[in-house]
């Protein structure tokens, strides 16, 4: 999971992370930055220094990852702006080679409100391709071709987001909510993403039909796919 800032993985994909971890899968969150400049307004208003804010956001994200059952790694690449670079892409390649992911989650490739998000998404995709190349000079073995899912941005209509995949996160939502509450620097988003999970859950029930017996209180997350689904049957 490649996250531009320290909290993005919680709001956008906390349910998917908690579900995967509960099923016994290794989940690794790669935070490219702490979100120290652009997503820590309350800490700046409180008079904290840059290093204090970085430490605060690192602690929050580490606590949230622990609640979700995930490992977390921080690259401290800076934000506002998060700059795309060959060096940073190479560091992501190194993590891919070490983890050998079966699924990659990351940001949409367009976001007029926050250029850090598509920068992270573009580097995540580029690193996925490079990590597959036998001749790429990075430690470890080449990876396969994991599917990439783009999680829902904060302003989906402005980013061209279309909910192609609806994930039932009902069993994991309590963990997601607890993880969100670890992000004290952005308390204003707790209810926003709780409400979004309810709305996506409603859409999930409607699209699943009556035969699955989904509860009325279904909670959901939405994703888009980057690459085609490979399957032996249509379902």
User: Where are the chain's structural domains?
Assistant: 2-225
The mean per-residue pLDDT over the stretch 86-110 comes to 98
For residue 90, the tally of other CB atoms under 10 A from its CB is: 16
| Residue 9 contacts residue 33 (beta carbons within 8 Å) | no
DSSP characters over 10-34: HHHHHHHHHHHHHTT---EEEES--
pLDDT at 210 over 90: no
DSSP-derived 3-state class of residue 130: helix
The percent of residues in the chain predicted with pLDDT above 70, rounded, is: 97
Q: How many whole angstroms separate alpha carbon 175 and alpha carbon 19? A: 9
Please tell me the predicted confidence (pLDDT) of residue 185.
86
Euclidean distance between CA atoms 165 and 121, whole angstroms: 18
Q: Which residues are CB-neighbours of 22 under 8 A, at least 6 positions away?
A: 69, 171, 172, 175
Q: Choose between 19 and 205: higher pLDDT.
A: 19
Mean pLDDT of the 52-60 span: 97
Q: Determine the Cα angle at 31 with ends 23 and 78, to 5°.
A: 175
> What is the reported pLDDT for 212?
63
Q: What is the mean pLDDT of residues 114-122?
A: 98
Average pLDDT over residues 169-175: 97
Q: At residue 99, does pLDDT exceed 90?
A: yes
Share of the chain above pLDDT 90, in %: 93
Q: Which CATH number fits domain 2-225: 3.40.50.10320, 2.40.50.100, 3.40.50.970, 3.30.360.10?
A: 3.40.50.10320
Put the strands of the sheet holding 104-106 in their side by side order: 104-106, 148-151, 220-225, 165-168
């Amino acid at each position: 999971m490649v996250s531009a800032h320290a909290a993005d993985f919680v709001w956008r994909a906390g349910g998917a992370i908690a579900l995967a971890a509960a099923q016994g899968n290794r989940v690794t969150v790669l935070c490219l930055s702490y979100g120290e400049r652009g997503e820590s307004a309350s800490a700046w208003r409180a008079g904290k220094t840059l290093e204090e804010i970085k430490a605060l956001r690192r602690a929050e994200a580490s606590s949230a990852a622990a609640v979700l059952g995930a490992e977390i790694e921080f690259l401290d690449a800076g934000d506002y702006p998060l700059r795309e670079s060959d060096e940073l892409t190479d560091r992501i390649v190194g993590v891919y080679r070490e983890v050998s992911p079966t699924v990659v989650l990351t940001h949409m490739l367009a976001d007029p409100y926050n250029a850090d998000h598509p920068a992270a998404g573009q580097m995540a995709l580029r690193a996925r391709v490079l990590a597959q190349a036998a001749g790429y000079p990075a430690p470890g073995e080449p990876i396969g071709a994991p599917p990439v899912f783009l999680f829902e941005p904060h302003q989906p209509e402005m980013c061209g987001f279309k909910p192609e995949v609806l994930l039932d996160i009902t069993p994991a939502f309590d963990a997601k909510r607890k993880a969100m509450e670890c992000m004290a620097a952005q308390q204003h988003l707790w209810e926003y993403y709780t409400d979004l999970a309810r709305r996506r859950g409603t859409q999930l029930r409607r699209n699943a039909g009556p035969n699955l017996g989904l509860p009325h209180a279904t909670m959901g997350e939405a994703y888009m796919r980057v690459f085609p689904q490979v399957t032996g049957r249509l379902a």
